[in-house]
Amino acid sequence: MAKKSADLLPGTLDMLILKAVSLKPLHGYGVLLRIAQISKDVLDVPQGSLYPALYRLEHQGLINAEWGESENKRRAKFYTLTPAGRKRLREETASWNRLVAAIASSLNATPDEV
């Protein structure tokens, strides 16, 4: 069952968390599951770096945290996206796409294009 999993590039974790939270308010574990889900299990988030990233994003004002009750009646902290966070997500996504397009075209260059 060797999955083809890719390591997260530095800096992309923040982006993924913002995306995950943008769809619906989630607690930490939920974010983990969501990212696994929307990446079709390709992206593997190291659990130790999840919470520091969440705290960092909260400190920067991109997500909001609130204590609430989870599905199985547990007390958990739920994170929502702030307007600033939404804006950041848009910008990051745009620049990521630009970067990816450039690299992809570079890597696919054939000898006679150089």
Tell me: does residue 40 bind another protein (CB under 8 A): no
Q: Residue 74 interacts with another protein (CB under 8 A)?
A: yes
Q: Does 59 bind another protein (CB under 8 A)?
A: yes
One of 12, 23, 24, 29 touching another protein (CB under 8 A): 29
92 binds another protein (CB under 8 A): no
- Please, how many CA atoms are within 13 Å of residue 46, restricted to the half-sphere of its CB? 10
Q: Rounded distance, CA 46 to CA 26, Å?
A: 18
CB 22 within 8 A of CB 81: yes
Q: Can you tell me whether residue 66 is helix, strand or coil?
A: strand
Q: Which residues bind another protein (CB under 8 A)?
A: 27-29, 46-49, 51-56, 58-59, 70, 72, 74-77
